[in-house]
Chains A and B, each alone.
Chain A
């Protein structure tokens, strides 16, 4: 443990120059571009805070628990400062490297016994950083997920997946059936009763879009059913009117239904990546 003590003593004694050399590095390192414009006066306290907490995390009996809090806080701050995750992690890696690069570090492990201590010391530091990387990336994902939930709030409500909409989810089929029956009646009224081909079909996009959002690819069936019904109704009730307009409309139903379905699938898949699968 005396090797570790030497390391800790070195860090605590020289925290300021190590933090300064880190700040200089991070401001010009090509892998930490987001830090290039940050003034040293902001960066140095960040590193000092880390070096000040180094002893506590290094000697913790349960390093995972102790370091989780510190690195989660680090992640929060970097996320709020709009630093991309890979740069936030790399900046932290540079903090570790700057301890090792610091001239006196080379001198503290000279003898054979000390070399053994150096190995122990390195391994323990690495263990701390292994947790750091995990906790920081985990917290970033939590924050991204939170932001996503916020941004997708309205969409989730339409998908009947938000807390408000969840209560309505079992009624999806009933809602869709009502909308379809409404569309059929509307078509019948305009084609058979009014004998008109006015653009009432714009209303059909409501069940088509909802079908795509709720059932994704399977939802395209809704667009197909409405398209077929529209064309058949035209053939039966509007025999003197050219069919081409309704064929184009039916085709557009399919296009819009497919686009919404694929977008909905893409969003769901992307969301799944962000969702944490913690045990």
Chain B
């Protein structure tokens, strides 16, 4: 059993944005716990709030935030209580790093990758500090499997897979406690994607990094997942050990989602979800999945509570009450 100290815990996290047309509830009442060295995958359709959740953890928020509250514990410290400046200095990128979506295309084209990778480490770009940072950069490049001489190259000289590794190196260079990966492989080719997944898996096994992997690709996410969370319309509708969730999903949405994943090994009937997720603009106070749910009944008119069906397996659905 891990101590409290080793946990990363999110409690009742809310995030909403105010827009001209009303309030957009992007993240609503999300709670989960993970241990050091574990990887959690967050799966959901586009627009379900999974990226917003990732950004909310790192406090990378746009200006129009209306409501942002909850608790986020890292090493038993509530990092939501820290001031903005303190959070920036002590947490962001030092303790929690992120690989944003499509980041490999946002490397600065006129600066050598080495300079960009060491950026999180140095405050002033001269002297001993810089040399130490370069050494560290060499080390992480080795870790993610980029040849050392690539340090002196410019981003356009690298292929997509290599650029993605450089971005990964940038996130790992500060040796953070938690790394949030937002769709790290979705823009890549099949073989490159498999390669990056191998790299992540190796890093995880060798160094015990803790990852949150945000993706819509369930099949690929199974490569890395210890824990899995399914998001729907801003809510975490199911959260459990990946093994349980992939084998025996409880929530009707998770079941449909799993049944829509094509498989190479077996020829199974594929299912799909009719309809669309509800708008996050003033979402309904019923179960969010009500309109599309095959198993709905009267009680679903009220918002379902989070129910623990097994140890560490939470489902937000009336069926299991």
Q: Do A and B bind each other?
A: no
